[in-house]
Amino acid sequence: MSTSQATATAMRAEQARLQALRAEAALEPDPVSTEAPAKQTQVIAIYGKGGIGKSFTLANLSYMMAQQGKRVLLIGCDPKSDTTSLLFGGRACPTIIETSARKKQAGEPVLIGDVCFKRDGVFAMELGGPEVGRGCGGRGIIHGFELLEKLGFHDWGFDYVLLDFLGDVVCGGFGLPIARDMCQKVIVVGSNDLQSLYVANNVCSAVEYFRKLGGNVGVAGLVINKDDGTGEAQAFAQAVGIPVLSAIPANEDIRRKSANYDIVGRPGSAWAPLFENLAANVADAPPLRPSPLSQDALLGLFKSEAVGRNVKLDPASQEDMRGAGAVEKQSLEIVYDEA
């Protein structure tokens, strides 16, 4: 094969791949099931900035709930697939996306035991997602939930289903529970830093947007993780009109145990009261309609030196852009005198 033929073949393959990706992105999700659930279940979506501690919070919360006698299902909806790693001592669960692809290729059905695993009363699974540059993460979320429905999601008898979502990705797939009323309420995990509260504010904006369109999902509250006592997250919650469900301190013992994949929210442990209180608040908090902040109002929660609020916007000129003197060119626009 000549070089030109190889190039043409590669170009056709790339065009076919792009067309397949566009076709995948254009697919609409299946309609939401309207069948009555077998059991009244609280479905709660947890959002937050990547790395803020959602997985740590959810692993300990779900473990505490299970030890209190509740039936809990934890579903990781982050393409990193790390939601359940703390729960299972660092071990990675086979994801629904990769398992579904493998089983489909082999002509075999996906069984619940292929994707759902247990530890001390907690049921857990990971949706997963595509590799970087090889598909739409949001579409992966949609496909994962479609498969869960086929596996009987609406007939499962859980007290709580906790969904772990990446909050700083605005793709529609990650907003699925809010947009399609797939959960009753949202919990946001944040900290005393601008970026995590920016994400929390975006989630509140999404909830408010879909409430205006007739949606029913509300924000139950904020969990402050790595709380250093500076108070910005507390001020944010008060400003948008949501409660603080728990403030988990920035503590070396918690950090070390979490890094070693150790559950700290165990009954009888030093941190048990913290997670017992969080479990009670999560169960009882009603879904509220938040009042998202403007960017300036969000910045106003922080000291000016912490966020550069005193920086002025200095407009650029053509001379700046060219790096030399700019010659103003005459316009070719025809200007008519007023009649």
pLDDT digits (tens, 9 = 90+) for 268-277: 999 999 999 9
Kindly state whether residue 66 falls inside one of the protein's structural domains. yes
Q: Which of 70, 80, 159, 262 is catalytic?
A: 80
Task: Note if 70 is an active site residue.
Answer: no
- Taking each continuous run of H as one helix and of E as one strand, the counts in the chain are 13, 8
Domains of the chain: total = 1
User: What is the arithmetic mean of pLDDT over 300-318?
Assistant: 75
> Is 329 within a domain?
no
- Give mean pLDDT, residues 220-243: 96
Domain region containing 206: 36-306
Which candidate in 54, 185, 226, 257 is catalytic?
54
Between the alpha carbon of residue 303 and those of residues 189, 192, 249, 306, 307, the distances in Å are: 22, 12, 21, 5, 7
259 Cβ contact partners less than 8 Å away, ≥ 6 residues apart: none
User: Is residue 326, in this structure, part of any structural domain at all?
Assistant: no
Decide if 54 is catalytic: yes
Low-confidence winner among 74-83, 165-174, 278-287 (lowest mean pLDDT) = 165-174
pTM for this entry: 0.78
Strand order across the 160-166 sheet: 117-119, 122-126, 72-76, 160-166, 42-48, 185-190, 218-227, 244-249
- Could you tell me if residue 3 is inside a domain? no
Asked if residue 274 belongs to a domain, the reply is yes
Q: Are 246 and 188 in contact (CB under 8 A)?
A: no
The two tokens of residue 232 are 């910005």
pLDDT in tens, 249-290: 999 999 999 999 999 999 999 999 999 999 999 999 999 999
CA–CA distance, 205 with 214 (Å, rounded to integer): 14
Strands (E), the chain: 42-48, 72-76, 117-119, 122-126, 160-166, 185-190, 218-227, 244-249
Q: What is the pLDDT of residue 57?
A: 94
Q: Which of 82, 114, 159, 168 is catalytic?
A: 168
Q: Is residue 302 part of a domain?
A: yes
In a domain, 333, yes or no: no
Helices 232-240 and 194-212: crossing angle in degrees, nearest 10, is: 10
Catalytic entry in 49, 185, 226, 257: 49
Q: Considering the domain boundaries, does residue 1 fall inside one?
A: no
- Annotated active-site residue 168? The verdict is yes
Report CA-CA distances (Å) from 338 to 59, 335.
Answer: 72, 9
Q: What's the average model confidence in pLDDT over 195-224? A: 93
Query: Is pLDDT of 16 > 90?
Result: no
- Report the 10 Å Cβ neighbour count for 75: 25
Tell me whether residue 39 is one of the annotated catalytic residues. Answer: no
CATH number for the domain harbouring residue 245: 3.40.50.300
Mean pLDDT of 284-305: 88
Cα(165)–Cα(188) distance, integer angstroms: 10
